[in-house]
């Protein structure tokens, strides 16, 4: 009887003691590694708060004291830590939990209905949609939201799809309206600042750039100060836009339109033409198969004659339609370039004399041909390949 009583007592004591299993011991050991890593981070970056951190009884309060001290010296951490909602040390020690300022695709979809600042919504509508074309639902929703404060006749002056970011920078940089281009940078992840140019998914993946090192912390501290500058400029502009939405929106459009009209019209050079292997093979076979005196007549309205083993000469230049002059000259110019690459002389002397047929038009073929030969784009295809 005593033995039975002692045995029952022993069983009760064992149950109450509940010694941890091997699995639980391993888990506690791993947690202790996270704890010591946490203390290392505290000691390195907030030594002034180390004693207070150690005095806290629970993980969430320890991390809260650290996060608050860290933000006073460096940059904000994810709010759950400063608010005392962190549960496990590894949530903080695995990587630096940054607070991002970017507007991702989901946030952009909610601009019209998500309680965003009116000035920012108006600025977003002026900017081209970074995710969809101008028929996208988000853009329609933005327009509807803007109609509450800006009349339709003013909104219709915004180009379909909004202003392109590069155009806004060209027109507004250095002016009092440059905040609109900054909004565009934010929407397009183009601020050159890590807090605006990354989303939650990229941060959640961690990586060496988010490890708790002195180099990384100093880098993010510098980037945070830059992001504050971006935020201040953007906030100042959006605040101005919100003060008098209709009047200021129209004033901004007037400024953009005036600046655009004042820009010098630049001639953008076309890419230089580089003949392909098929281009060279085509002309080589053509010249090879022509007999001396043989004619190559193109439906475009010009004719070449073979006058030597490796030489063809423009014999006649007549246009069926004067509007096709540039296309015809382009085809001839490309033929000259392809011939040079093969050692075939393409004589266009007839153009220099101005004898180019009764329907040639009034343009100067020699000058036009020189321009075409030096600045055309693409292979000798299409009409040119019908020569």
Residue 118 domain boundaries: 105-262
For the four alpha carbons of 290, 292, 294 and 296, in that order, the dihedral sign comes to positive
**Among 9-13, 263-267, 279-283, which stretch is predicted with the lowest mean pLDDT?**
263-267
Q: Is residue 258 part of a domain?
A: yes
Q: Is there a single domain that holds both residue 56 and residue 111?
A: no
Question: Is the pLDDT score of 339 beyond 80?
Answer: yes
Q: Is residue 24 part of a domain?
A: no
Domain termination site, one of 229, 262, 295: 262
Q: Is residue 372 part of a domain?
A: yes
Q: Is there a single domain that holds both residue 219 and residue 313?
A: no
The DSSP element (H or E) to which 217 belongs, if any, is helix 214-243
Q: Is residue 10 part of a domain?
A: no
Q: Is there a single domain that holds both residue 307 and residue 242?
A: no
Domain termination site, one of 43, 74, 94: 94
Better pLDDT: 352 or 330: 330
Q: Is there a single domain that holds both residue 304 and residue 368?
A: yes
pTM here is 0.61
Q: Is there a single domain that holds both residue 117 and residue 221?
A: yes
Q: What pLDDT, on a 0 to 100 scale, did the predictor assign at position 49?
A: 95
pLDDT digits (tens, 9 = 90+) for 154-187: 999 999 889 999 999 999 999 999 999 999 999 9
Q: Is there a single domain that holds both residue 233 and residue 149?
A: yes
Q: Is residue 90 part of a domain?
A: yes
Domain termination site, one of 69, 94, 119: 94
How many domains does the structure of the chain reveal?
Answer: 3
Q: Is there a single domain that holds both residue 132 and residue 255?
A: yes
DSSP string, 89-145: THHHHSS--B------HHHHHTTTTTT--HHHHHHHHHBPPSSS-TTSHHHHHHHHH
Average predicted confidence (pLDDT) for the chain? 82
Q: In angstroms, what CA-CA distances link 380 with 212, 325, 339?
A: 58, 17, 12
Q: How would residue 319 be classed by pLDDT, with cut points 50, 70 and 90?
A: low
Q: How would residue 114 be classed by pLDDT, with cut points 50, 70 and 90?
A: confident
pLDDT digits (tens, 9 = 90+) for 34-81: 999 999 999 999 999 999 999 999 999 999 999 999 999 999 999 999
Q: Is residue 19 part of a domain?
A: no
Q: Is residue 213 part of a domain?
A: yes
Sheet holding 302-308, edge to edge: 295-298, 302-308, 311-317, 345-347
């Amino acid at each position: 009887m005593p033995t039975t009583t002692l045995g029952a007592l022993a069983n009760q004591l064992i149950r109450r003691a509940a010694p941890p299993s091997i699995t639980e011991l391993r888990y506690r050991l791993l947690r202790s590694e996270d704890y010591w890593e946490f203390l290392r981070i505290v000691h390195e970056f907030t030594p002034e708060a180390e004693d207070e951190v150690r005095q806290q009884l629970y993980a969430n309060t320890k991390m809260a004291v650290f996060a608050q001290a860290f933000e006073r010296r460096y940059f904000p951490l994810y709010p759950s830590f400063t608010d005392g909602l962190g549960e496990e040390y590894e949530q903080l020690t695995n990587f630096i939990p940054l607070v991002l300022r970017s507007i991702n695709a989901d946030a952009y979809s909610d601009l019209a209905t998500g309680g965003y600042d009116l000035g920012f919504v108006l600025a977003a509508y002026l900017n081209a949609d970074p995710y969809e074309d101008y028929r996208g639902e988000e853009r329609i929703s933005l327009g509807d939201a803007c109609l509450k404060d800006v009349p339709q006749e003013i909104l219709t002056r915004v180009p379909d799809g909004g202003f392109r970011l590069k155009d806004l920078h060209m027109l507004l940089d250095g002016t009092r309206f440059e905040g609109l281009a900054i909004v565009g940078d934010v929407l397009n992840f183009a601020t050159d600042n890590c807090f605006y140019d990354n989303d939650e998914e990229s941060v959640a993946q961690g990586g060496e750039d988010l490890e708790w090192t002195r180099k990384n912390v100093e880098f993010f501290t510098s980037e945070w100060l830059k992001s504050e500058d971006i935020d201040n400029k953007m906030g100042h502009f959006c605040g101005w836009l919100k003060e008098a939405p209709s009047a200021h929106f129209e004033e901004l459009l007037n400024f953009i339109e005036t600046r655009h009209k004042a820009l010098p019209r630049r001639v953008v050079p076309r890419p230089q033409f580089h003949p392909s292997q098929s281009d060279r093979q085509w002309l080589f076979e053509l010249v090879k198969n022509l007999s001396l005196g043989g004619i190559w007549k193109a439906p475009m309205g010009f004719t070449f004659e073979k006058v030597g083993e490796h030489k063809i000469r423009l014999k006649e230049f007549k246009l069926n339609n004067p509007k096709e002059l540039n296309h015809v000259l382009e085809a001839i110019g490309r033929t000259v370039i392809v011939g040079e690459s093969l050692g075939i002389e393409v004589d266009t002397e007839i153009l220099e004399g101005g004898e180019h047929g009764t329907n040639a038009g009034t343009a100067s073929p020699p000058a036009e041909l020189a321009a075409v030969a030096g600045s055309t784009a693409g292979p000798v295809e299409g009409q040119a390949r019908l020569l």
